[in-house]
Amino acid sequence: MKVHISLLFVVCTYLILMIHTTPLDRTQIHDDWRKHSLSEDGIKVLHRAKRGWMWNQFFLLEEYTGSDTQYVGKLYTDHDKGDGNLKYILSGDGAGSVFVIDENTGDIQAVKRLDREEKSIYTLRAKAIDRKTGRQVEPESEFIIKIHDINDNEPKFTQDIYTATVPEMSEVGSSVIQVTAIDADDPSYGNSAKIVYSIIQGQPYFSVDADTGIIKTALPDMSRENREHYQVVIQAKDMGGQMGGLSGTTTVNITLTDVNDNPPRFPQSIYQFMSLESAAVGTAIGRIKANDDDVGKNAEIKYTVIDRDAKDYFEIITDKKTQDGIITVKKLLDFESHGMHTFEVEAANTFEDPRFSHLRSFKDTAIVKITLHDVDEAPIFNRPFYVFEVNEDVKEGSIIGHVSAQDPDSTKSSVKYSIDRNTDLERIFNIHTGNGSLILAKPLDRESTPWQNITIVATETKNPRLSRNVQAYIKILDINDHAPEFAQHYDTFVCENAKPGQPH
């Protein structure tokens, strides 16, 4: 029973030591375990074991600021009897320049200030030499000095200034942008590189997620029309945000982008314009303007004439640069029949955001009044053209038709008629200047000229500069005024003894 208890004690001791030691410690313990094995009858037996180096992995804090050298650790071999016969030699990373060793004791010192961010692990080699024989008492062995981190680096953002946009009227919690800070300290050791984000400037409009650095909206119904630009300052602090941690900041310029949450609105309910009745089709009469607080496509406006009758005479074209509505003439105007036009126009956004259509009307209306000014117009014929028919044997002086024109103005000035002689060079026709009767002046011959086309001019007597032309087409009708004629002269012969009815 005592043997079994002893064996259990040894095994448990070995497991405990293996759990609570470093890999290099375990090598030494394993050697010790091999030294103390048990015989078959449970009696502890000592065996000769291979001697070896004895050290743990060395650790050293970076950025040591003391005036003396910094002690690292001690190399030791069980061949060392303490009589000064052994000499320790160090080689590898930084040996002699960063790390020095006491060749008699094996004590290692760091003689320079170390920076883990520049180099975190140094790999060195150790020798133990017998001073008398010059031989190595131990094979050259490699060991590591690991530099432990201290919190000597503040978090740094990847950008000094961030620029972001978010639509106005966004819901609370809408993501705007993610900012990122990087800490050069060791993330696997302590909290030196554990970053927490906070907002220093920008409340109550925005918030930041402490872990991710995602900036979000924090107020509902943020309106671009009220305020468009925001400057937010974000802080990143290490040590999990605890007291004593280092910090860095960045600026985020946030712009609210426009959404179509405002309708067009006319600044006045009635617009009045004047126009000459003689305005040509396409003439611009005036401009109207509906204001929209939105920008870009959200402020684009289409204008429409609502009244059906007015649609025949006017249309509204949108000026793409100014968003003005240009009222133009669509059909010739007439002061005498319609001295004033009054109609309703509508202004509506060409693009409507369905999110806000239920909140308010995205249209507005106004009244337009256009007063026409009378102008002295030229006489107007009662027909666009005239067609007359006359027999070719009609006598000179006969009336073959009538034309009629009137002054359209309210003054109803008298009209006189004339023929444009450039269309009647032979003066075949005359016209009565007072009543417009067309009179034949020379005989007609259908066979030589079946149609006569002339231009008749109506001129206002009070203002000879006002005149209008009309075409008269005169068709010459045929009469039976020509006997038949043979097409050629015929010569024939007959025999003297020809019988009656015999063809020749």
Inter-CA distances, 285 with 275, 321, 341, 342, 376, Å: 6, 19, 12, 14, 20
**Can you tell me the distance from the alpha carbon of 502 to that of 495, in angstroms, rounded to the nearest whole number?**
10
Per residue of the chain (504 residues), give pLDDT as tens: 333 323 333 333 333 333 333 333 333 333 333 333 333 344 333 333 344 665 656 766 666 666 678 888 888 888 888 888 898 888 988 888 888 888 888 888 888 888 777 887 888 888 888 888 888 887 888 888 887 767 677 899 999 999 999 999 999 999 999 999 998 777 767 777 899 999 999 999 999 999 999 999 999 999 999 999 999 999 999 988 888 788 999 999 999 999 988 889 999 999 999 999 889 999 999 999 999 999 999 999 999 999 988 999 999 999 999 999 999 999 999 888 888 999 999 999 988 877 776 655 678 999 999 999 988 888 999 999 999 999 989 999 999 999 999 988 777 889 999 999 999 999 999 999 999 999 999 999 888 899 999 999 999 998 889 999 999 999 999 776 666 777 777 777 777 777 777 776
**Can you tell me the distance from the alpha carbon of 304 to that of 347, in angstroms, rounded to the nearest whole number?**
7
> What type of residue is 48?
R
Residues in contact with 448: Cβ distance below 8 Å, sequence separation at least 6, in sequence order: none
262-299 core/surface letters (b: 16 or more CB in 10 A; e: else): bbbebeeeebeeebebbbeeeeebbebbbebbbeeebb
Write out the two tokens for 319: 């000026």
Inter-CA distances, 427 with 417, 419, 435, 439, Å: 15, 9, 19, 11
Question: Would you tell me the crossing angle of helices 2-19 and 23-35 to the nearest 10 degrees?
Answer: 160
Distance of CA 328 to the CA centre of its chain: 34
The edge-to-edge listing of strands for the beta sheet with 136-148 is 58-61, 136-148, 121-130, 86-92
Nearest by Cα to 64 from 97, 110, 99: 110
pTM strictly above 0.85:
no
Neighbour tally for 56: CB within 10 Å? 14
DSSP-assigned letter for residue 53: B
